[in-house]
Structure 1
Amino acid sequence: MHNIMFFLIMLFIYSTLALISIVFSTIYSKKYIGLISVSHVLGIFTVIFSILNNIIKLNPIINSVTVIFFLATNFVAILALFNFMNIRIKSSCKYIAIIITLIDIISLNFIPSLSVFIHKVLIMSIYIFIGILVLKSNNNNISKKCLGISCIVFPISQIIFEILMISVIDNGFNLDLALYVIQSLACSLFLILITLDNERKDFNKHVNILEEKVKDKDEIINRANEIDKMKMEFLANISHELRTPVNVIFSSIQLVELDLNKNNLSSNRKTLNYLKIMKQNCYRLIKLSNNFIDMSKIEAGFMELNLHNVEIVKVIEDITLSIVPFAEERGINIIFDTEIEEKIIACDVEKIERVMLNLLSNAIKFTPKDGEIEVYMYESDNNLYISVKDNGIGIPKYMQDRIFDRFTQVKDGLLKENEGSGIGLSLVKYLVEMHGGRVILESDMNKGCKFSIILPCNIIKGEDIGNFNDNGIGMKKIEIEFSDL
């Protein structure tokens, strides 16, 4: 009964080792862990047949099967250790293992001392050899050193114990088996610890590589941002430099024009026409430089809102009515309609002017003669809606997602003369979004466009309504914005 209990304990230990190894091998796909798992499964069968051998005495078949499982358990464990050391085993070794197994089975019944030699000297010497190789390998890993020591100490202990069993100790089989199980336990434990440590090092190495890649990409992004910032600063400087001589030229043109108008000479009509063309192109250059400066400010994060409480309906109405003369010159009808008579919101009037003038100039630009442009306002869900709708050429579907990108232009061969820099709508989007709003485009080819501005109906508490109405819309602003018509 005592022997059976001992074997059951050994069976439990082997089963636990096998289960741990199998689970571990599913997580870490290492071949040597898989081989150790197989070795422990074979060890379970070795213990089972040892129990049968203990119950049924002197049964040659059970003895032979027990020896087969015992040798298979050791051969697979040795194979796992060689695989761990990255030592390739020649294919001829499997034939040697088969021959050793056959010799062991025969000698078990006829020459027991030879069987003992195979178990306790030959196989244990292989473990000792592996242990020496492990200790000689240049590695400071404590678990690996412990693995090498266990591959030496336990086999030597078994050899010494076998000698003592022959000369001194009687019935030491159970203790002998316990030593072997402890050896298997130690090897499995240290292999698992080594694997975990290697995985940790590989993970840290992988993390370091990723960190280096992220660092490199951050440097590239920072460099790209610096270059982009330099470009925007360059454009801003160029725009300022461009606007200064244009203003000087424009002032000179105005003085000459004023002088010619005073003289009222018919010979000056041609000169006045040339001056008008020059002034128009000065406006276009001023508009272009203003757009570049504003986009540079936005990109650099320097654009700020000057918010005040204003009566927005009056603001939009005045802006719309101020461009009627330009529309009438092209035979276009302007309609202003609103569902609300008065509405106070916090906004930057100057930037709302830029937005509306840009949308209206675009509408006039792409609306044919006898066309119609409608500006409509209403309030819904604490949002103010301002729409600018025309019945012009419209925008193709494939362009509608990109129309608010910088430098994007609607390509149409018939309207080549009306193309701009492609900055205006991008600027509109930025300025509206700075107010916490958004811009929506609805368009069908040859049916026109509808740009809807949605602004939140916020107010600045404790502030009076801004006196915008007395200032009006500067004609120069309109002429600049409509200079490319």
Structure 2
Amino acid sequence: MFNSVYFLIIMIFSCLICLFFVIFNLYYNERYLSCICASNICVVLSILLLVLYKAANEHWILKGITSVVFCCGILLSTSAILVLMKVKLKPSYFLVILGFLIVDFFCYPFCIGISVFLHKIILVLVSLIVAIMFFHSRSKSVLAKLLLCNNIILAIIQWIFAGIFYSKGPTYFFWDNVAYIIHNFITSTIFVCITIQESKAYYAQRVDELKGEIVLGQKQLQESYEKNELRSSIFADLSHELKTPINVIYSNIQLFEKCMSEDSTGIAESDKYLKSMQKNCYRLIKLVNNIIDMNKIESGYMKLEVKNYNIIPFIEDMVMSINAFAMQKQINVIFDTEIEELIIACDMDKVEKIVFNLLSNAIKYTPEGGEVLVYISYDTNDICIMVQDTGEGIPEELHEAIFGRFIQNKGELHQKYNSSGIGLALVKSLAELQQGRIWIDKEYKKGCKMIFSLPRIVLDHMEPILYNNMGYSEYNIEFI
């Protein structure tokens, strides 16, 4: 049955296939493809060894080596599936395989029955089981079905040859090798298809990821552009906020100097210039303090000094103190409460800053003859301080954003006063620092209604501070 022409054709065909898979593996560089390359090299080696075996008058050593190479090829083909399935084999398994190959090497020349049982029955059965595992792990894909069918056909052919070997001896050795070559070629082709399929899926995923990164990059670029615009606007507004009182102070200094150089009438008139300078100094101090407080909160340096307070008289005193300044604009400030006394744990300094900022904004943006209402309500969990005005209000689309840093309303009165946009951001941060919150009532349409809440918590073993003994100056109120 041995024909040199057949072997030459098969040899050339096997070498070309082996070269193709080696090049393919160099391009994709996958471990399971390396196993397939090694399996194809075993194909070429088994053919060469078979030729040498015939040329050397069927020497027993070449016969055993050929059998071992044959087994290695099937083992490598099976290993490729295991590597693709990411199955890790224990070192003891490799010792078993080594023992298997040694036994097969010595049995094939001298005890053909054991050798056939080893590398046709057991080895092909293992290959078939691994193909079934792959079939289930790949969700029964077309390629998994092809690989399973290929291994089933190989098992049937090898077991047929095993029966022939037992009955007629190794006369069909050549065709047995041809069956192995065809099987290995089909297996290798299936693995190439799997590689191409997974590469397409990988590159499709990478394209989606890159598209996502491009969208994200465009979004970040847009955000960066908006931030740069906001930064420019902030610097312009802060420059205006700082420059305006400085210009007023400088002008008043010049007028003050002129009055001082004149008679007693000028000296008497200089008092109003001093008050204007003082007011604008307060304005600068307020802006600088707000910026410092915001930076302290963001950097985590703002500390709370929590004590038990009867919060109602404190809030009432703040409202009454600011009322005198509101009267300058003919704005009526009203204070009302559901309860006369309520002890809670809070940092009163931070609460004062919140209330004064809310009152300052309410009075600033309420036209002459308007009204500002401060109302205190409570429930089981929280106390709520509401500041309601009859000004132009805040557009609904800005109800959430207005508490952001440097966010400004573009209404007519807001344009007139040209706020820096720090106050409400500071208020929100100070509220959250005390586990409180602040929001705008969307139902109120006659102006703006802001509600600030604090949790009703009382510190144990601490006497409450019941009354406010502090007086509030224009500086404390930070009113503009």
| TM-score of the alignment, normalized to the shorter chain, above 0.5 | yes
Cα distance in 2 between the residues matched to 1:371 and 1:343 = 30
Q: 1:421-479: CA deviations, max 9, x gaps?
A: 1110110010001011111112579720010112111222222213652234344312x
Matching residue of 1:363: 362
- Residue among 6, 14, 21 paired with 1:127: 14
Which structure 1 segments of 5+ residues have no match?
A: 1-111
Do 1:393 and 1:446's aligned partners in 2 also have CA atoms closer than 8 Å?
no
Cα distance in 2 between the residues matched to 1:349 and 1:453 = 14
User: Does residue 149 of structure 2 align to residue 152 of structure 1?
Assistant: no
Amino-acid identity (%) = 35
Cα distance in 1 between the residues matched to 2:267 and 2:445 = 43
Do 1:437 and 1:455's aligned partners in 2 also have CA atoms closer than 8 Å?
yes
Cα distance in 1 between the residues matched to 2:335 and 2:381 = 22
Q: 1:290-309: CA deviations, max 9, x gaps?
A: 11111121222211111111
Cα distance in 2 between the residues matched to 1:325 and 1:437 = 29
Matching residue of 1:427: 426
SS class of match (2:441): strand
Deviation (angstroms), 1:366: 1.2
SS class of match (2:276): helix
Cα separation, partners in 2 of 1:124 and 1:461, compared to 1, 3 Å: same
Cα distance in 2 between the residues matched to 1:128 and 1:350 = 87
Do 2:353 and 2:427's aligned partners in 1 also have CA atoms closer than 8 Å?
yes
TM-score (norm. length: structure 2)? 0.56
Deviation (angstroms), 1:340: 1.9
Cα distance in 1 between the residues matched to 2:306 and 2:25 = 72
User: Does residue 371 of structure 2 align to residue 375 of structure 1?
Assistant: no
Cα separation, partners in 2 of 1:126 and 1:187, compared to 1, 3 Å: closer
SS class of match (1:323): helix
Deviation (angstroms), 1:132: 5.6
Matching residue of 2:65: none
Q: 1:405-429: CA deviations, max 9, x gaps?
A: 2122221345533222111011001
SS class of match (1:403): helix
Deviation (angstroms), 1:338: 1.3
Q: 1:81-127: CA deviations, max 9, x gaps?
A: xxxxxxxxxxxxxxxxxxxxxxxxxxxxxxx99xx677543234211
Q: Which amino acid aligns with 1:442?
A: D
Cα separation, partners in 2 of 1:123 and 1:193, compared to 1, 3 Å: closer
Cα distance in 1 between the residues matched to 2:448 and 2:281 = 29
Do 1:346 and 1:458's aligned partners in 2 also have CA atoms closer than 8 Å?
yes
Q: 1:154-188: CA deviations, max 9, x gaps?
A: 344666789999xxx96757655543444455566
Which structure 2 segments of 5+ residues have no match?
A: 59-164
Cα separation, partners in 2 of 1:181 and 1:156, compared to 1, 3 Å: same
Cα distance in 2 between the residues matched to 1:381 and 1:317 = 22
Do 2:307 and 2:464's aligned partners in 1 also have CA atoms closer than 8 Å?
yes
User: Does residue 374 of structure 2 align to residue 482 of structure 1?
Assistant: no
The aligned runs of 1:178-217 (5 Å cut-off) are: 178-184=176-182, 186=184
Do 2:25 and 2:37's aligned partners in 1 also have CA atoms closer than 8 Å?
no
Matching residue of 1:303: 302
The aligned runs of 1:7-406 (5 Å cut-off) are: 120-131=7-18, 143=35, 146-156=38-48, 175-184=173-182, 186=184, 266-406=265-405
Q: Which amino acid aligns with 1:283?
A: Y
Matching residue of 1:22: none
Cα distance in 2 between the residues matched to 1:124 and 1:382 = 87
Cα distance in 1 between the residues matched to 2:449 and 2:392 = 12
Cα distance in 2 between the residues matched to 1:331 and 1:406 = 31
Deviation (angstroms), 1:392: 1.1
Do 2:440 and 2:449's aligned partners in 1 also have CA atoms closer than 8 Å?
yes
TM-score (norm. length: structure 1)? 0.56
Q: Which amino acid aligns with 1:150?
A: C
Q: 1:53-92: CA deviations, max 9, x gaps?
A: xxxxxxxxxxxxxxxxxxxxxxxxxxxxxxxxxxxxxxxx
How many aligned positions are there?
A: 328
Matching residue of 2:90: none
Deviation (angstroms), 1:364: 0.6
Do 2:40 and 2:184's aligned partners in 1 also have CA atoms closer than 8 Å?
no
Do 1:135 and 1:149's aligned partners in 2 also have CA atoms closer than 8 Å?
no
Cα separation, partners in 2 of 1:188 and 1:150, compared to 1, 3 Å: farther
Q: What RMSD over aligned residues (CA atoms) do the two structures have, in Å? A: 4.7
Do 2:331 and 2:368's aligned partners in 1 also have CA atoms closer than 8 Å?
yes
SS class of match (1:450): strand
SS class of match (1:346): strand
Do 2:309 and 2:345's aligned partners in 1 also have CA atoms closer than 8 Å?
yes
Deviation (angstroms), 1:196: 9.3
Matching residue of 2:409: 410
SS class of match (2:392): coil
Do 1:120 and 1:158's aligned partners in 2 also have CA atoms closer than 8 Å?
no
Cα distance in 2 between the residues matched to 1:397 and 1:149 = 74
